[in-house]
Amino acid sequence: MAPVIDVDGDGMTDPDSTGQAAPSRSRPVVRAMIWATVPVLLLVQLLASAGVEVSSFWSQIRQLDARIVRIADSRAELIAEPLWKMRYEQVTSVLNEIMHDETIAAATVYDDTGVAIARVAARPAGQAVTEVSRPINYSNGNMAVQAGRIAIAYSHATLYADTGSRLVLLLVVGLLGTLATVVAMRISANIFIGRPLAVMMSAIQRSKQDGRAYPADIRSSNEFGQLARAFNAMQHTTSGALDRLGHMASHDPLTGLPNRRSLTERLAVERRDTGSSDALVAFCFIDLDDFKGINDTFGHDAGDKFLVCISERLRGAVEAGDWVARLGGDEFVVIRPEVSDEDAAQAFAKRLLDAISEPIRLHDKQVAPRASIGVAVRRADDPELSHLPALADIALYHVKSRAPGTVAVLDEVLQRDYRRRRDLELAIPTGFSERQFEVWYQSQVDLDTQDVVGLEALIRWRHPEHGVIGPGEFLPLIERSGHNARLTRYVLTDACSALQRLAAAGKADIRIAINLPPSELADHSLAAELRETCARFGVPASSLELEITEGSLINNIASASETLQRLRRLGATIALDDFGTGYSSLAHLRRFPLDKVKIDKAFIREIPQSAEDKAIVGVIASLADTLGLTLVAEGIEQAEQAQAMREMGVKFGQGFLYHRPQPIDAVLQRLAGQAVSGKTGTSRLVADSRSIAPEFAA
């Protein structure tokens, strides 16, 4: 209920009666107004009263002086004859007549010689007095003489005393009047100013506490009533705006679903409101597969429509107690507060996956959505309940890397794999600084002569705890942690050093191939750095071969083409790696500056048994020959495969049949042995070469 006050009447409601804490009274407006007004009021009143009294005092002084002069003149006339005739008793008698005036202290009469002949004193001497002297003139018709003079001493003490008493009285009356004014001001100001402000302040304080609008109900037609109505209108408008802002802050504007900010609050609610502490909470982390491809193909408007459709399907697939949210991009979350076990959670996630997978029409095309779901299940009272998003993300990472489009439930094995991945990811900077990464090399040979014509640089990680780690495990971690560029420069430096050593060994004609990750094709500084590194080691850029994948071309068509042109102008050879496993677009073979195509080992593995793979390789070989591209077959492990490649016109190959990946020292030793043994011996030596870690040779 809003605080109420009737300003026009006597009835009022204290804002503190609402049960809320009273607003701060450190400097109330009424008290401040009184402290500012009362001293001025009191000072003005005292100055005005004192001014009037002082003016009156000086007027009385002047009146007293004039009255004494008149008394002296009248007494001089009365005693003129007695003084001339020396009747001094009569002179004294006349003087005694004026002594009843309390202001007169003494009176003296002097003869014409200046001798005092009569003196009357009303009070002891020593009091401050003022004296008036008037001549005594005698005239009898025949003559006129000055018979003497009269002196009257009088005091202002009585006037001073009376004026002081009146000033004290005025001060007392002024103080009492000021006090009465203060009381009246306090009461009226509190009624007409303080209480209305307190009502509005109380409403503001309560709004600050819980964010809701509390109107200030002031029943008045004066300015404060108008202010209260304006305040209430503002509160209403602000409350609505805050509600909308709060909803916008906690909900996704596109789908209307709760967003990431709401997730923490929801997990707290699940922990607090679940009926049983043994209840299992299922957290489903959903990631749409290849949503970027939908945006790129159909446009962002269609992509938004796609996301809205997915959100509606998720809403329709859950029950009333479930919670659906969009965390951003192509990530959704569904929380089921109670499941019986992990199997039930997995079955629920599969139903969500089925609901998502129904085709959606975009631009008159039927698009089949695909998604991957990671599921984490925990008890409602589990301390790890707040970590459910991170736990489900572990399962999601696993399913997207191993089996996209399916469901994975977090278990101990996945958590152990995650901890290993996390340890390795955190150790990557140390691996670079301590040179734990090693570059091994695998030969590319002429299939007719079996001469080594090139080497491919392959990275390995010799971890101090986990041993030698293959690239399939740590390369995704390097990409995820943003160290792709550092790894490329690392391998490039090692390859240039290896070329320098090959040249010193008389093998300057051997090229070294380096794999470029997709992100490097967007780096326009790569060409300059390659040129600088080659110059530092004194090797030509034409001794380098840069291998790219079709996926990297698709994702960076404009920037990839420009970067490849720069690299090629330096003299480097450009090779398309793993041809046939990606988009396999023939347009790429004409659009980009390619020199070489490498057939993926997936097509070599079943040759010569698979007629279909032989036909595919034959088509690729014919196409490469037509376009003037050099062809290399990867993964040759059997002599029959090498023979089939030669028959189909493939000139170069690499694989375990010829050489397993080894460090450059071992490669140089083998090449040196090849030079000594001759062609026959070389064939045997190449075939028998062993990898330091054959299980990571690929």
pLDDT of residue 206: 77
| Phi–psi pair at 357, nearest 5 degrees | -75, -5
Q: In angstroms, what CA-CA distances link 106 with 86, 99, 101, 117, 689?
A: 21, 8, 10, 14, 149
Do residues 492 and 516 make contact, with C-beta atoms less than 8 angstroms apart? Answer: no
For residue 123, what pLDDT is reported? 63
Q: Which of 342, 430, 332, 325 is nearest to 379 (CA)?
A: 342
What is the chain's percent helix, strand, coil content, to nearest 5? 55, 20, 25
For residue 610, the model assigns a pLDDT of: 84
Cβ 258 vs Cβ 323: under 8 Å: yes
> For the chain, how many residues are written?
698
Pairing of strands 104-111, 4-6: unpaired
Cα 359 from Cα 370, distance rounded (Å): 10
Are the CB atoms for 638 and 657 separated by under 8 Å? yes
456 - beta bridge partners? 442, 513
Predicted local confidence at residue 427, as pLDDT: 92
CA separation for the pair 646, 632 (Å, rounded): 11
Beta strands in 580-624 (DSSP E): 596-599
Looking at residue 3, what is its pLDDT?
A: 45
Residue ranges of domains in the chain, CATH in brackets? 260-410 (3.30.70.270), 423-696 (3.20.20.450)
**Splitting the chain (698 residues) into consecutive groups of 10 residues, what average pLDDT does each group show?**
43 42 51 73 78 84 88 87 85 84 86 86 70 87 84 83 81 80 76 73 75 70 72 72 71 88 80 67 92 86 91 91 89 90 92 92 88 90 80 89 89 86 90 93 91 93 90 88 90 94 91 89 86 94 89 69 87 84 60 84 85 85 84 90 88 90 91 65 40 37
User: What are 427's two structure tokens?
Assistant: 């150790």
The overall longest dimension of the chain from CA atoms, in Å, is 185
Q: pTM for this one?
A: 0.57
Name residue, tokens 């000072």. Answer: 43
Query: Apex CA 352: angle with CA 351 and CA 358, to 5°?
Result: 90
Per the DSSP assignment, residues forming a β-bridge with 457 are 441
3-state secondary structure of 288: strand
Question: Cα 527 from chain centroid?
Answer: 38
Residues forming beta bridges with residue 534, ordered by sequence position: none
- CB contact set of 49 (below 8 Å; sequence gap of 6+): 167, 170, 171, 174
The confidence score (pLDDT) of residue 313 equals 92
Contact 95, 75 (CB under 8 A): yes
Distance from C-alpha of 419 to C-alpha of 63, rounded to nearest angstrom: 112
